[in-house]
């Protein structure tokens, strides 16, 4: 009797395990085929070279060659500048807008839809709109407005100094809506009593934000920071559409654009793979350090 029960128990456990693993299989296969295998393949390719259909091992040669590519420092510098600026605007601004929206008593739904609208526009379409807006003559809306206000106009993406800020403006406009909605969801989960208590203690608006809002949304803020760094470091479509890729004198060449250049314009897939591995190492390193330093959920 006991043996039969234990056998049934064992069979049940095995069936449960089988069911669990079967459900998992789809996800694992998808990750394996579309994420892990390409990563391994990229790593292998970064140490190879293919000529006339014949692939050979070349050790670190692709990495050394890229290191000496004159566009290499510019690509990392531009990517870092874009990331910092995009974080300043694309990270802080949506949080402030979300706080403002959260404070509103009227038309919140309408405004929420309004700020989310740009996200619904396909990125390429949005960027083509910006391309017209950045026209360096007065035909561009930005220069038209600046001129109307008697302010100096700009060459925007044609300028070596304004090119990256131009990309940041477009990118922030395109992506802000999604971040705002995420922040808003986090803000709406903060218990109202906390604000009431703060108000009773005489805390002003800024104090309430600092002592209630920020600590209560710390986890989501921390996660969004990581996601935004990883996303902005992969800058590509903005320079491709707004500045023809490299821009003027490599002013908009990003690491991913340089990768694209090597892979699809210079027929150098191995060099592109080496660059991809470098970016992977940098982002993985940053993520590991960041996660280690970030507060855990149960930490104050």
Partner 1 sequence: MSGQHYRTVGALALAATVALSLAACGSGGDKSGSASSGKTTIVIDCPPLKTDNDGKSLAQWNADVAAFQKLHPDITVKSISVGSQCNNPPDFTARLQGGTQADVFYGYMTDLNQVLDAGQAEDITSYVNSSTVPYWDSLLPSAKAVFTDQGKLYALPYSAYTMGLVIDKNLFRQAGLDPTKPPTTWQEVATDAKKIAALGNGIAGYSDYSAGNTGGWHFTAELYSRGGQMVSDDGKSAAFNNDMGQSVLRTLHDMRFTDNSMGTKQLLQWPDLLTNAAAGKVGMYIGAPDSITAIVKTFHGKFSDWAMGPMPGDNGPAKATLGGGNGYFFKKGLTPAQIRAGVAWVNYEELTPGVGQFNYAAQKAMGLPVGLPQPQIWVPGSAVWKTDDELKRANTNLDLNDYAPFVNNPVAIKTEPPQAQAVYAVLDASMSAALTQSGANISGLLKTAESKVNTLLVAGK
Q: Which is nearer to partner 1, 2 or 137 (CB)?
A: 137
What b/e readout covers 232-241, taking b as 16+ CB neighbours within 10 angstroms?
A: bbbbbbbbbb
Number of CB atoms found within 10 A of residue 29's CB:
10
Q: How far apart are CA 68 and CA 125, in angstroms?
A: 36
Residue 45 interacting with partner 1 (CB under 8 A) = no
Contacts of 71 (CB under 8 A, 6+ apart): 246, 250, 253, 258, 261
Q: What SS3 class is residue 56?
A: strand
Q: Considering only residues 38, 43, 48, 69, which one is a binding residue for partner 1 as defined by CB under 8 A?
A: 69
Residue 152 interacting with partner 1 (CB under 8 A) = no
Residue 31 interacting with partner 1 (CB under 8 A) = no
Q: Which is nearer to partner 1, 91 or 257 (CB)?
A: 257
Q: How many CA atoms does the CB half-sphere of 129 hold within 13 Å?
A: 11
Residues numbered 215 to 244 that lie near partner 1 (CB under 8 A) are 243-244
- Helix or strand (DSSP H, E) at 258: helix 255-260
Mark the segment that binds partner 1 (CB under 8 A) among 25-33, 110-118, 165-173, 220-228.
Answer: 25-33
Residue 52 interacting with partner 1 (CB under 8 A) = yes
Q: How far apart are CA 87 and CA 83, in angstroms?
A: 6
Q: Which of 88, 297, 95, 93 is nearest to 183 (CA)?
A: 95
CB of 4 to partner 1, least distance (A): 18
Residues numbered 91 to 150 that lie near partner 1 (CB under 8 A) are 135-137, 139
Q: Which is nearer to partner 1, 15 or 108 (CB)?
A: 15
Q: Which is nearer to partner 1, 136 or 215 (CB)?
A: 136
Mark the segment that binds partner 1 (CB under 8 A) among 1-9, 62-70, 95-103, 284-292.
Answer: 62-70
Residue 185 interacting with partner 1 (CB under 8 A) = no
Beta carbons of 170 and 126 less than 8 angstroms apart: yes
Q: Considering only residues 7, 8, 10, 23, which one is a binding residue for partner 1 as defined by CB under 8 A?
A: 23
Overall residue count recorded for the chain in this entry: 300
CB of 14 to partner 1, least distance (A): 10
Beta carbons of 78 and 164 less than 8 angstroms apart: yes
Residue 154 interacting with partner 1 (CB under 8 A) = no
For 113, the token pair is: 């839809």
Please report the sign of the dihedral spanned by the C-alpha atoms of residue 42, residue 45, residue 51, residue 52.
negative
Q: Directed axis angle between helix 163-187 and helix 71-90, to 10°?
A: 40
Mark the segment that binds partner 1 (CB under 8 A) among 120-128, 186-194, 260-268, 281-289.
Answer: 260-268
Contacts of 116 (CB under 8 A, 6+ apart): 177, 178, 180, 181
Residue 165 interacting with partner 1 (CB under 8 A) = no
Q: Considering only residues 22, 117, 200, 206, which one is a binding residue for partner 1 as defined by CB under 8 A?
A: 22
Q: Which is nearer to partner 1, 162 or 203 (CB)?
A: 162
Q: Which residues here bind partner 1, judged by CB under 8 A? A: 12, 15-16, 18-20, 22-23, 25-26, 29-30, 33, 50-54, 65, 68-71, 135-137, 139, 155, 157-160, 243-250, 260-261, 263-269, 271
């Amino acid at each position: 009797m006991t043996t039969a029960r234990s056998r049934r128990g064992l069979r049940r456990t095995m069936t449960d395990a089988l069911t669990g693993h079967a459900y998992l299989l789809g996800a694992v296969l998808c990750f394996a085929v579309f994420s892990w295998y390409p990563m391994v393949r990229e790593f292998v390719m970064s140490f190879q070279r293919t000529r006339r259909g014949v692939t050979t091992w070349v050790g670190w040669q692709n990495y050394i060659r890229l290191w000496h590519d004159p566009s290499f420092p510019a690509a990392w510098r531009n990517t870092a500048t874009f990331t910092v600026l995009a974080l300043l605007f694309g990270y802080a601004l949506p949080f402030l807008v979300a706080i403002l929206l959260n404070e509103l008593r009227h038309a919140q739904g309408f405004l929420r839809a309004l700020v989310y609208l740009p996200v619904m526009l396909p990125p390429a379409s949005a960027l083509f709109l910006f391309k017209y807006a950045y026209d360096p003559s007065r035909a561009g809306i930005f220069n038209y407005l600046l001129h109307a206000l008697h302010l100096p106009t700009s060459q925007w993406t044609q300028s070596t100094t304004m090119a990256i800020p131009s990309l940041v403006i477009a990118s922030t406009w395109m992506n802000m809506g999604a971040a705002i909605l995420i922040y808003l969801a986090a803000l709406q989960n903060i218990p109202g009593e906390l604000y009431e208590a703060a108000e009773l203690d005489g805390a002003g608006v800024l104090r309430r934000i600092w002592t209630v809002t920020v600590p209560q949304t710390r986890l989501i803020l921390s996660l969004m920071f990581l996601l935004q760094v990883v996303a902005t470091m992969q800058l590509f479509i903005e320079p491709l559409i707004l500045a023809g890729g490299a821009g003027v004198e490599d002013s908009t060449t990003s690491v991913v654009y340089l990768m694209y250049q090597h892979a699809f314009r210079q027929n150098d897939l191995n060099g592109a793979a080496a660059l991809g591995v470098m970016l992977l190492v940098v982002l993985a390193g940053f993520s590991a350090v960041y996660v280690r330093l970030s507060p855990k959920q149960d930490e104050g």
